Structure 1
Amino acid sequence: MPQPTSAGLPPAQTLTQTMTTELLTGLRPVRIDTTLTYRSRDPFTVGIAFHLLGKGVILWRVDRDMITAGAHAPTGRGDLHLRPTAGDKVLLRLGPPGDTATVLADRDHLTEMVRQTYVLVPPGSEGAHIDWQPFLDHLDG
């Protein structure tokens, strides 16, 4: 069971879910083992780790509200864009123009993970879960 921190923060908690995504290439889609991770101490983001054979892990940190929005309508800017597609999928476009990876993910897996994050850390309560002390210590350093 998680223990309270000395700073009086709620206990740190982590959610993890695995799924398979598809990297869209010019030839054929490539299946990728993918891990979604949410940490209550980083309450605004979901980590999406793509486990690439022979190339290690590529990690993207995605705003949980952006995942929810992108499951229903196109959203994003810069190096990250999401949009729903036919067949209950979400298309993630990752990276700058000219060096982009396009990944298809199951919408239900993504939205269920985000739903669980909202149960763990309800919207509007995120600030109470952030440990600001390391940042403040760095400023004093």
Structure 2
Amino acid sequence: MEHMVSHHITLRLITDSPDPSPLPADFEYHREDPLAVTVIFGTNSEAPVRWVFARDLLSEGLDKRTGVGDVTIWPVNSPNALPTIQIQLSSPDGDAYLRAPAEAIEAFLAETWRLVPPGTEGQHLDIDLTLDALLDGA
């Protein structure tokens, strides 16, 4: 039985340049952490960067602006381009604006929903493991 979904998606880093820079990323979903997705940037580098946020946030961002705080996601519909979503990542070091093909995000989410259907996430949570992780940080 599968325990993980992984998709390699090339995002576009929005900068002052007229041409966005390609930014390869791995989107991962683990059955053991059914509420979250992980996006890993720089997978070929010595210090990859990981962002973890709610799967529901990624899903809702396909249709409307969603999120407060460190991660905000919203659809971008240009008449002459394929549908995309924009992802804003905020940290003390600054903000990053990324664009992803909506179709690639939809395909990733569809696989995560096959692995853990929406509404069944609680059946896959290990409460003891979650509590241990929370208490280790206290």
TM-score range, shorter chain: 0.7 to 0.9
State the 1:24 CA deviation.
Answer: 0.9
1:19 lines up with 2:14 in the alignment: no
Q: What TM-score, normalized to structure 1? A: 0.80
Question: How many aligned residue pairs are there?
Answer: 129
Partner of 2:97: 102
Q: 23, 28, 41: which one pairs with 1:32?
A: 23
Partner deviation per Cα, 1:73-120 (whole Å, 9 max, x = no partner):
111101111111123110001004881000001111111111211111
Where do 5+ consecutive residues of structure 1 fail to align? 3-11
Partner of 2:66: 75
Partner of 1:132: 127
Where do 5+ consecutive residues of structure 2 fail to align? none
Q: Distance in 2 between matches of 1:33 and 1:118?
A: 23
Q: Distance in 1 between matches of 2:121 and 2:49?
A: 26
Residue identity matched to 1:99: G
Moved more, 28-37 or 130-139: 130-139
Cα pair 1:67 1:111 within 8 Å, conserved: no
Q: Give the RMSD, CA atoms, in angstroms.
A: 2.4
Partner of 2:32: 41
